Amino acid sequence: MSEERLQKLISQARIASRRAAEQMILEGRVTVDGRVAQLGDKADPAVHDIRVDGKRLAARPEYVYILLNKPRGVVSANKREAHEKRRLVRELVPHKGHLFTVGRLDADSEGLVLLTNDGELADRLMHPRYGHTKTYEVLVEGTPTQDALDQWRQGVPLGDEISAPAKVRVMTTTPEGTWLQVILREGRKRQIRRIASQLGYPVKRLIRTKIEMLEIGHLRPGQWRELSPAEVRLLKEKTGT
């Protein structure tokens, strides 16, 4: 493994945030191979003896990044609740160990979900303050008017707040309804379904096709693959991890 800045390693180990880790280093509470560390130092837990307040930092796990096409009817959960009888996302990927589910989809929705044991990257992708884009193809009933589309683009009241501006465009109109492409930078619970119903065009089908630059591609429902090293590198650049 390559060396990383100490504050990043401490944050990844969930000992403290990066900023708090930097303060720990400045206070002389971090050592590398018995030497008091300096801010800016890099190390590799698999090679060096890194300690915080005398406690050794464990070697980093091998990170796993899996892209899954979640089928309709599958629940975005890692553990089964007592009442839940449907299949879980985690059961579709035969990988040992805990994986975070990034980009949860309700059971009636389908499409791209990312599974990873990289907690810092998962946090960056999931937290709304980072504004990472998610792209959906949505089949709605009827044909939305220009006014309805403009309302959706500008923001629609959801409870006590207004949804953030979204990119919405008509892809095609069929006898079943209208296919829209919707790009969001926020992800409230069942947001697209709530907005579409509020505007008078209930969702008949919802497929997430992208999270940032990751695309579902040719994966069929239920299929999955590991991200390539190039995809992982780009994703880390996008998220700053």
Active site residues: 106
Query: Could you give the angle at which helices 229-239 and 119-126 cross, rounded to 10 degrees?
Result: 60
Say which residues have a Cβ less than 8 Å from residue 61's Cβ, sequence separation at least 6.
Answer: 97, 117
Measured from the Cβ of residue 145, the count of other Cβ atoms closer than 10 Å reads 12
Say which residues have a Cβ less than 8 Å from residue 160's Cβ, sequence separation at least 6.
Answer: none
What residue type is 99 in one-letter code? L
User: From CA 37, how far away is CA 27, in angstroms rounded?
Assistant: 10
Residue 79: which of 90, 70, 92 has the closest Cα?
90
User: From CA 30, how far away is CA 49, in angstroms rounded?
Assistant: 10
What residue type is 24 in one-letter code? M
Q: Is the dihedral of CA 130, 136, 140, 146 positive or negative?
A: positive
User: From CA 186, how far away is CA 132, in angstroms rounded?
Assistant: 8
Provide the residue count of the chain. 241
Residue pair 136/192 in contact (Cβ under 8 Å)? The answer is yes
